């Protein structure tokens, strides 16, 4: 799926839910620091999305953390009864969510494949923020929306959400 199709898939779904959002187009950004410099939105949570895998099983999870928070792989894993997480491979990311590194966000749940349904681990600071910005499965655009609307999006998918400290 090309970038435009990915973005349209996300925005069409949000439109169907009646979600108010802003779509910002920009140069490709890969890191959260690049994103903060290129896509600055006042009063909006900047975050990072990581696709992680339990080291001992084949179970994957999507974790969303504030952009400047270090990912504690053992700490995150403990919330789901695992010993430690590692980053999922690029191949696994594409296989499960249909996106590449740098374009991961909860919107990738729209692309879940083969009956795969990764739970979402979301940091409490992100879960409790007012406004958030996320890639719409492509790193040349950003969707800005109220957190209440992201929660409605996740609920519409029946997504399991685990809030972590």
Question: In CATH, what number is assigned to the domain containing residue 23?
Answer: 3.90.960.10
What is the domain range of residue 120?
3-164
Structure-token pair, residue 13: 């779904």
Tokens 């995150």, residue? 76
d(CA 146, CA 142): 13
- The DSSP bridge partners found for residue 62 are 51, 120
The pairs formed by 155-158 with CB atoms below 8 angstroms and a separation of 24 or more are 156/17, 157/109, 157/110
Which residues have a Cβ under 8 Å from the Cβ of 159 and sit 6 or more positions away? 106, 109, 117, 119, 120
Quick one: average pLDDT of 130-148? 95
Mean residue pLDDT across the chain = 92
The structural domain count of the chain equals: 1
pTM: 0.93
For 10-56, what is each residue's pLDDT tens digit? 999 999 999 999 999 998 887 777 777 778 788 999 899 999 999 88
Of 13-17, 93-97, 123-127, the least confident: 93-97
125 HSE (CA, 13 A, CB side): 12
- The DSSP bridge partners found for residue 64 are 49, 122
Q: What is the pLDDT of residue 3?
A: 67
Taking only Cα atoms into account, the Rg of the chain, rounded to an integer number of angstroms, comes to: 15
Quick one: average pLDDT of 134-154? 96
d(CA 132, CA 43): 9
Is residue 142 very low, low, confident or very high in pLDDT (cuts 50, 70, 90)?
A: very high
Residue 82: pLDDT above 70? yes
């Amino acid at each position: 799926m090309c970038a435009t199709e990915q973005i349209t898939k996300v925005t069409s779904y949000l439109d169907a839910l009646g979600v108010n959002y802003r779509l910002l187009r920009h140069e490709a950004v890969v890191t959260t620091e690049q994103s903060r410099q290129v896509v600055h939105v006042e009063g909006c949570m900047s975050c990072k999305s990581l696709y992680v895998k339990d080291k001992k099983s084949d179970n994957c999870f999507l974790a969303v953390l504030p952009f400047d928070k270090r990912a504690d792989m053992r700490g995150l894993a403990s919330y789901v009864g695992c010993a430690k997480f590692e980053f999922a491979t690029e191949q696994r990311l594409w296989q499960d969510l249909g996106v590449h590194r740098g374009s991961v966000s909860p919107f990738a749940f729209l692309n879940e494949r083969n009956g795969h349904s990764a739970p979402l681990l979301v940091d409490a600071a992100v879960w409790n923020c007012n406004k958030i910005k996320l890639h719409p499965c492509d790193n040349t655009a950003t969707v800005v929306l109220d957190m209440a609307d992201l929660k409605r999006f996740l609920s519409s998918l029946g997504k399991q959400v685990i809030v972590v400290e």
